[in-house]
Structure 1
């Protein structure tokens, strides 16, 4: 059996309290990594409590740290704490994200700024804080969205995910000479707490535009993230991988938008 070769590697996952982030943290621990899981809550979120705790001596396990990804000082404290433990950072998953569903003519600049601060600036701050702790062979995975490759109707969310694509490509170019890879995954309609609040019309229209005809699971996204974090993808950087059941391959944004009017 081929190993993901993640034993003993230290990976930071943002937005790890639930949904995709929790699944990524769980898969990484099961693959032998030390996972520094972060989220807004002060205490370990319920979705992570069953995972074994990591220690300085033990390789695999979970450490939870509270973090607001929009707070530069919080990132600095996290980086300082990791360095104080004597750990390098082998991987970063910029998973934290929020949505805002206002349409073009209703959205405010404040809507755009609020989503941008988490989805784009939060990822930039994470890269800036942790890249100095990374060596050759490290990997950064930014979690985009099918919205970032289509004209999806929630303009603030879509604009943020398009911007994240640009950030990822620049990071791949600038960090490549240091042996640090940067890639992006673009989930489609995945069953998560974020999508649970979507209107029924949205679900019906989106499934009609998904060739596989179903929603995806958080585990299906996590599997691709693990591949990109592992040495099995050692010559992959600047890549954008849809995990969307084929939705982005043919577009379909207009029919989803029309269904929501």
Structure 2
């Protein structure tokens, strides 16, 4: 895709946790709309394998190892985007993990791991790019929350708390960075077909799918399209918003 239909032409994006699932779908959609993409994933080898065909086709995409819970790693990724592509315009805080367990059986380590990656990781990403975004007077930050952060899930107190925290982070950062021309928004995906959700027991997946008014699970590309919109000039007056991509589940 190029020319008038390329909503992100010439822009550079960092997408965390983009070696698979929604993150990888977002990387592909961004590339299709003309962006340069830096995939920051804790598993650099897996990310490189995922984009091998894109690299072979000379797509402007690279993968880099990044532990999003490390401020030093986040700073390194931002610097790499600048050195490789000459700029940085978009950050998608997509990285996240699950460590499920009911409260009485959930360890502190598993609680901390989910909060560190999903919530602290997003905050560190924002901290890494905000000086540049402020200086250039522009930038779009997209935090990947979850419907779990709105309605909660039993056995996921850590995940639900992290994803709800991302909404507070989004709104506070939108107020803080908005005067500099930087937009911060969030997406709340619902039941989407990824490796994580398809690992559910079939009867549990079917029960959740039955709660969707559109009567089906979503596809990663449908969440990615929402990210393209929020990153693009079409969303130029959208700041601090939470866009649900749920098929109507949770309304």
TM value normalised by structure 2: 0.91
Residues 237-261 of structure 1: per-residue CA shift (max 9 Å, x gap): 1110111111121xxxxxxxxxxxx
Q: 2:201 aligned with 1:202, yes or no?
A: no
Shift of 1:109: 2.5
Q: 2:78 aligned with 1:51, yes or no?
A: no
Contact 2:11–2:36 (CA under 8 A) maintained in structure 1: yes
> Following the alignment from structure 2 to structure 1, what is the Cα–Cα distance between the partners of residues 122 and 227?
16
Root mean square deviation, CA, Å: 1.9
Contact 2:12–2:81 (CA under 8 A) maintained in structure 1: no
Shift of 1:2: 6.3
> Following the alignment from structure 1 to structure 2, what is the Cα–Cα distance between the partners of residues 192 and 5?
26
Other-structure match for 1:138: 139
Q: How does 1:4-153 map to 2 (within 5 A)?
A: 4-43=6-45, 44-52=47-55, 61-85=60-84, 87-134=86-133, 135-153=136-154
- Structure with a larger share of its residues in helix: 2
> Following the alignment from structure 1 to structure 2, what is the Cα–Cα distance between the partners of residues 82 and 46?
20
Distance change >3 Å, CA 143–CA 122, structure 1 → 2: same
**Given the alignment, which residue of 193, 212, 215 partners 1:191?**
193
Contact 1:140–1:229 (CA under 8 A) maintained in structure 2: yes
> Following the alignment from structure 1 to structure 2, what is the Cα–Cα distance between the partners of residues 91 and 243?
20
TM value normalised by structure 1: 0.88
Gap runs ≥5 in structure 1: 250-261
Contact 1:120–1:160 (CA under 8 A) maintained in structure 2: yes
SS of 1:68's partner is coil
Which stretch has the larger CA shift, 130-139 or 80-89? 80-89
Contact 2:38–2:62 (CA under 8 A) maintained in structure 1: yes
Gap runs ≥5 in structure 2: none
Other-structure match for 1:255: none
Q: 2:250 aligned with 1:248, yes or no?
A: yes
